[in-house]
Amino acid sequence: MSDDTGSRSAQPADAAPLHDDGTEILHDEGPEILRDEVDGLVEAWQRERPDLDVTPMAVLSRVTRLAHYLDRQRRISFSRHDLESWEFDVLAALRRSGEPYQLSPGQLLRETMVTSGTMTNRVDRLTARGLVTRTDHPDDRRGVLVRLTTDGKQSVDAAIEDLMQAEQQILAVLPAAQRSQLAEALRRLIAPYDSNGQI
């Protein structure tokens, strides 16, 4: 009695590869094609408006959806450390500035892109929480500097670590080369709007 393994090994070298169940693997078989809701939207608009080029939707609708998801992840990560998104933005600006982790209100405005009144209110609230302090500006008698406290530094460091872990998980499906390609493509897309202050 011959076994199945022996009969398979006796096949010609140029024989078609087989699945485990013995059926032939077709050349056009490949990885399962992923689909998402945007595919359905694009197809529906192409069907209803064949005169309209809706291909931008395939890119930008996905960017919008991913942005919504990222915003939720940011809020989740920050809430674990008792921070709101706007609080993180201010603390992160101070943390990125390097020691002694202080900036003028004007510098904070440029970093966080909010109005002067909004920034004053935010600094007041962060000061009340003990996450920042106001100090006199050494070069401007009427000016002040906003400085990160030890508690503020600990809070923002913990929050950014949590956020980076979440974002690593989001990007885990992409190999390093594809991440770099995506970053470059997005950079080219956003740079014109970033440089002229539209974002």
66 within 8 A of 155, measured Cβ to Cβ: no
* pLDDT at position 12: 53
Q: Rounded CA gap, 5 and 1, in Å?
A: 12
For the chain, the residue count is: 199
pLDDT of amino acid 51: 97
> What does the pLDDT read at residue 113?
86
Residue 67 has pLDDT above 60, yes or no: yes
What is the C-alpha to C-alpha distance for residues 126 and 99, in angstroms, rounded to an integer?
Answer: 19
Enumerate domains of the chain plus CATH numbers.
Answer: 38-195 (1.10.10.10)
Angle made by CA atoms 119, 63, 162, in degrees to the nearest 5: 60
In three-state secondary structure terms, 32 is coil
- pTM (predicted TM-score): 0.76
Direct distance between the N- and C-terminal alpha carbons of the chain, in angstroms, rounded to an integer: 75
Q: Long-range contacts made by residues 70-73, C-beta under 8 angstroms, separation at least 24?
A: 70/167, 70/170, 73/163, 73/166, 73/167, 73/170
What gap in Å lies between CA 146 and CA 123, rounded to an integer?
Answer: 8
Alpha-carbon torsion 155, 157, 158, 162, what sign? Answer: positive
CA 172/CA 167 separation, integer angstroms? 9
Nearest of 58, 60, 63, 68 to residue 35 by alpha carbon = 58
Question: If you write DSSP's letter for every residue of 60-116 in order, what string do you get?
Answer: HHHHHHHHHHHHHHHHHHHHTTT--HHHHHHHHHHHHT-TT-EE-HHHHHHHHT--H
Read off the pLDDT of residues 9-56 as tens digits, 9 standing for 90 and up. 455 555 555 555 555 555 444 556 789 999 999 999 999 999 999 999
What tens digit of pLDDT does each residue of 116-169 get?
899 999 999 999 999 999 998 887 777 899 999 999 999 999 999 999 999 999
Instruction: Name the token pair of 117.
Output: 């009144």
Question: What H or E segment, with its residue span, contains residue 136?
Answer: strand 132-137
